[in-house]
């Protein structure tokens, strides 16, 4: 089966300007490799500022890469003309974290949902009646009453606005959907509804999903595989069960330990030391890692298999049996 998305050796940095002193460069994405199969959901997890959102935009071609390649639906994004890229965008979509910020407050939500059909006329929705029928179908698909199409964003609840953003993303029937913290601002009951819709979408449409989140509990409900990011690097990757139940990287264990639990003694010890600057050599997590050794500060770890499809970027990753104990 051909992946809907393949990324190889992605790098992206940002130059920061200082009022006093020289400019400096902050690496946001460093050497990322990943694939997404049709009908699969890949969860990208990590702390705020780890590069998740930047990675999502690189995967859709919304930001240029410093180096590396992104191949979407058999097309290498860097090789496409503007016209070809425009046609490909009909098969890719981004769902933003803040639905209110992603919607125009001056226009009815129905007009905004149907707008991609006007942009991508090659999809065959030239007539107003065809667009109206497609709009009604996608509203029902995300469990919204079509009568809400005439309302403005401020007259909808947070859950309804998130469904509107999802409907706009789905109206062109994309084969790749990148969701950037789509439920983080919603209460638990609305989160469950949106996640249910995404599960149904994944099962019925065969679209590939990239689900970006800092919430491991939400990712566990939807993702088939998980990639853990720290300071722009994928430090652990594998099936959801393998990564979240038996994490090999100390950073993944730190994230899991931060998840509240009602079971006494169930939480993993999550003490660590914060650090602002990138180390000049070695593992980026070494300054925060309580198990760091001398080699961690000199040798840069790369993703290596630790059994099956489970891989970890740690020089001294514990064995599965050690984690179980």
Give how many domains the chain has, as a whole number. Answer: 1
Of the candidates 5, 23, 25, the one whose C-alpha atom is nearest the C-alpha of residue 66 is 25
Give the predicted TM-score (pTM) of the model. Answer: 0.90
pLDDT digits (tens, 9 = 90+) for 54-67: 999 999 999 999 99
Distance CA 131, CA 125 (A): 6
* Residue 64 falls inside a structural domain: yes
Owning domain of residue 39: 5-236
pLDDT digits (tens, 9 = 90+) for 203-217: 888 899 999 999 999
Distance CA 167, CA 159 (A): 12
Whether the pLDDT of residue 68 is over 80: the answer is: yes
Whether the pLDDT of residue 322 is over 90: the answer is: no
Beta-strand pair 208-213/176-180: parallel
pLDDT digits (tens, 9 = 90+) for 124-151: 898 999 999 999 999 998 889 999 999 9
* Residue 269 falls inside a structural domain: no
* Residue 317 falls inside a structural domain: no
- Is residue 240 within 8 Å of residue 309, measured between CB atoms? no
Query: Per-residue confidence at 262, pLDDT binned at 50, 70, 90?
Result: very low
What pLDDT is stored for residue 267 in this prediction? 53
* Residue 305 falls inside a structural domain: no
CB atoms within 10 A of CB 221: 19
Indicate the burial class of 294 (C-beta count within 10 angstroms; 0-12, 13-18, 19 or more). Answer: exposed
| DSSP letters spanning 131-196 | HHHHHHHHHHHTT--GGGGGS-GGGS-HHHHHHHHHHHHHTT--SEEEEESTTTTS-HHHHHHHHH
Mean pLDDT of 171-183: 93
* Residue 69 falls inside a structural domain: yes
Whether the pLDDT of residue 104 is over 80: the answer is: yes
* Residue 138 falls inside a structural domain: yes
* Residue 311 falls inside a structural domain: no
As a whole number, the mean pLDDT across the chain is: 89
Tokens of 6: 């393949």
* Residue 315 falls inside a structural domain: no
Domain harbouring 57, CATH code: 3.40.50.300
Question: Sheet harboring 225-230: ordered strands across?
Answer: 92-95, 176-180, 208-213, 41-45, 225-230, 233-239, 311-312, 304-305
């Amino acid at each position: 089966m051909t992946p809907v998305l393949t990324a190889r050796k992605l790098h992206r940095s940002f130059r920061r300007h200082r009022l006093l002193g020289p400019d400096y460069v902050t690496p946001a994405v460093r050497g990322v490799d990943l694939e997404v199969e049709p009908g699969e959901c890949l969860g990208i997890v990590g702390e705020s500022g780890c590069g998740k959102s930047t990675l999502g935009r690189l995967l859709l071609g919304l930001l240029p890469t410093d180096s590396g390649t992104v191949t979407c639906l058999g097309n290498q994004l860097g090789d496409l003309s503007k016209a070809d890229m425009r046609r490909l965008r009909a098969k890719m979509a981004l769902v933003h974290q803040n639905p209110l910020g992603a919607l125009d407050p001056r226009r009815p939500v129905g007009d905004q949902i149907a707008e991609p059909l006007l942009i991508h006329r090659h999809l065959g929705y030239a007539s107003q009646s065809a667009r109206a029928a497609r709009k009604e179908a996608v509203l029902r698909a995300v469990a919204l009453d079509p009568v809400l199409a005439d309302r403005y964003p401020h007259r909808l609840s947070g859950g309804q606005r998130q469904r509107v953003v999802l409907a706009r993303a789905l109206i062109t029937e994309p084969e790749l959907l990148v969701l950037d913290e789509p439920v983080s601002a919603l209460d638990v009951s609305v989160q469950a509804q949106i996640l249910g819709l995404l599960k149904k979408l994944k099962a019925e449409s065969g679209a590939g999903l990239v689900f970006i989140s800092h919430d491991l509990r939400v990712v566990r409900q939807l993702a088939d595989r998980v990639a853990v990011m720290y300071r722009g690097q994928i430090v652990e990757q594998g099936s959801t069960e393998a990564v979240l139940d038996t994490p090999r990287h100390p950073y993944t264990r730190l994230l899991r330990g931060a998840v509240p639990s009602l079971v006494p003694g169930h939480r993993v010890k999550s003490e660590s030391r914060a650090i602002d600057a990138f180390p000049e050599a070695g593992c980026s997590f070494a300054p925060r890692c309580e198990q760091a050794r001398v080699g961690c500060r000199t040798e840069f770890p790369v993703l290596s298999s630790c059994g099956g499809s489970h891989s970890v970027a740690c020089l001294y990753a514990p064995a599965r049996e050690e984690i179980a104990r």
